């Protein structure tokens, strides 16, 4: 079985994401990730296992006795939340997931408060954290950093798992997991996710949540994807190339109303202007046609849903908030459960939790 100790960083870095996947799995060969870095690590079988585990954790946690049991399963473990990129939802969701499982946590939420501000390398910072903790959950504006740190730790004297909570513009795998979990739960009593149409709207070029979810949806049968955006913010060629290779039907559009009328799910995103240069180019783009208002709501199917990774600006009108099809608040809560499931499975607890007596 492939391991990160079997390959140099320079050779690993050159591999495609699919080729990297075997190096990141748990040693027992059941396919579950050890390091969670990108969406390509999850096939349908693993997604369904994680969703089932999330459902089980959710059910067990309903009772005091069950909640106390969950708090005992990883009470001997510690997790470091290393967030050098601003976040509230993603940070708190992972924190709550750790608390459900009884994990003690520490955090750095600003690189200026760590020794990196003094010139310490990422490698030295991560090695330091690994001295005190059993898992590192990291979010960074730097593309590929989670991969590099995973290789570093796997080749250190104290290898511990890394969970990527967002890296640069490229991947946000745990957000994609909660998005798929929300889609599966939304349609589980309505014929399932297969055969659905999912519309992505907004800043699709720089939205890493879109990239990761688009890939995860390729694990399901006949899910059509429609990308609605201004041409300057349309989805990138590499995403479309993956869809072509996997034989997925997709469409490029600038008409949100038309797309909404055929959608089963509409996934709205905000403009990612934190990636702008000093000239503020995003403000020059006309985004007025790419907002979900009461008019779009009237076009959405009765059993359709609206999603958003949040934070929201004005791309979804507040008139939608109390409609039963608005799933973005439930989507946030789902993140806590699926992240708890991922963390539990990373530590090898899937079977014991699924088979416990609660």
Which residues are marked as active site?
Answer: 89-90, 118, 139, 172
CB 167 within 8 A of CB 192: no
E-assigned strand segments in the chain: 78-83, 104-108, 135-140, 162-167, 197-201, 224-228, 250-253, 265-268, 305-307
- CA distances 338 to 13, 127, 332, 334, 344, Å, are 28, 27, 10, 6, 10
As a whole number of angstroms, the distance between CA 180 and CA 324 comes to 18
Tokens of 98: 């750790």
Q: 301 to each of 229, 305, 306, 324, how far by Cα in Å? A: 21, 8, 11, 12
CA dihedral of residues 332, 337, 340, 342 (deg, nearest 10): -90
- Secondary structure E strands in 104-216: 104-108, 135-140, 162-167, 197-201
């Amino acid at each position: 079985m492939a391991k990160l100790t079997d390959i140099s960083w320079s050779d690993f870095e050159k591999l495609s994401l699919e080729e990297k996947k075997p190096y990141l799995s748990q040693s027992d060969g059941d396919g579950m990730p050890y390091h969670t870095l990108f969406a390509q690590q999850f096939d349908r079988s693993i997604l369904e296992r994680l969703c089932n585990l999330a459902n089980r954790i959710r059910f067990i946690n309903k009772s005091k006795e069950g909640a106390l049991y969950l708090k005992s399963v990883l009470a001997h473990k510690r997790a470091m939340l290393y967030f050098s990129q601003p976040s509230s939802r993603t940070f708190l969701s992972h924190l709550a997931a750790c608390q459900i499982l009884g994990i003690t946590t520490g955090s750095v939420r600003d690189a200026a408060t760590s020794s990196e501000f003094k010139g310490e390398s990422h490698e030295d910072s991560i090695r330091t954290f690994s001295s005190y903790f059993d898992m590192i959950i990291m979010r960074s504006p730097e593309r590929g950093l989670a991969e590099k740190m995973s290789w570093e730790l796997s080749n250190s004297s104290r290898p511990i798992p890394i969970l990527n909570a967002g890296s640069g513009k490229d991947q946000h795998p745990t957000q994609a997991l909660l998005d798929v979990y929300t889609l599966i739960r939304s349609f589980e009593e309505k014929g399932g996710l297969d055969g659905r149409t999912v519309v992505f709207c907004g800043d699709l070029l720089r939205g890493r949540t879109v990239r990761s979810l688009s890939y995860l949806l390729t694990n399901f049968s006949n899910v059509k994807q429609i990308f609605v955006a201004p041409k300057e913010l349309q989805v990138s060629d590499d995403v479309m190339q993956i869809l072509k290779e996997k034989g997925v039907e997709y469409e490029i559009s600038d008409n949100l109303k038309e797309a909404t009328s055929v959608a089963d799910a509409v996934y709205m995103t905000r403009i990612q202007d934190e990636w702008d240069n000093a000239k503020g180019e995003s403000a020059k783009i006309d985004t007025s046609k790419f907002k979900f208002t009461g008019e779009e709501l009237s076009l959405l199917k009765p059993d359709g849903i609206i999603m958003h990774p949040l934070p929201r600006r004005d791309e979804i009108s507040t008139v939608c908030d109390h409609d039963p099809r608005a799933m973005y608040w439930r989507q946030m809560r789902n993140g806590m459960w699926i992240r708890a499931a991922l963390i539990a499975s990373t530590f090898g607890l899937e079977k014991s939790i699924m088979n416990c007596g609660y």
